[in-house]
């Protein structure tokens, strides 16, 4: 199944919000920071 870039971004944000449930607001900067590290690990 192909997922568009917009779809991937949406899924990334939804997963980050789900992980952070009950801990208050989550900034886009924090999501981007976490996602950057995940990409580094996955692509190694």
Total count of domains within the chain: 1
State the Rg of the chain over Cα. Answer: 11
* The pTM of the whole model exceeds 0.95: no
- In this predicted model, what pLDDT tens digit does every residue of 18-37 receive, in sequence order? 999 999 999 988 888 887 77
Token output for 28: 């886009």
Token output for 34: 């976490």
Show the DSSP H helices in 1-44 as ranges: 5-19, 28-42
Is residue 38's pLDDT more than 80? no
Q: Provide the residue range defining the domain that includes 35.
A: 5-42
């Amino acid at each position: 199944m192909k997922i568009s870039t917009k779809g991937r971004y949406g899924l990334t944000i939804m997963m980050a919000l789900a992980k952070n449930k009950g801990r208050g607001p989550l900034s886009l900067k924090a999501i981007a920071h976490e996602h950057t590290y995940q990409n580094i690990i996955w692509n190694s």
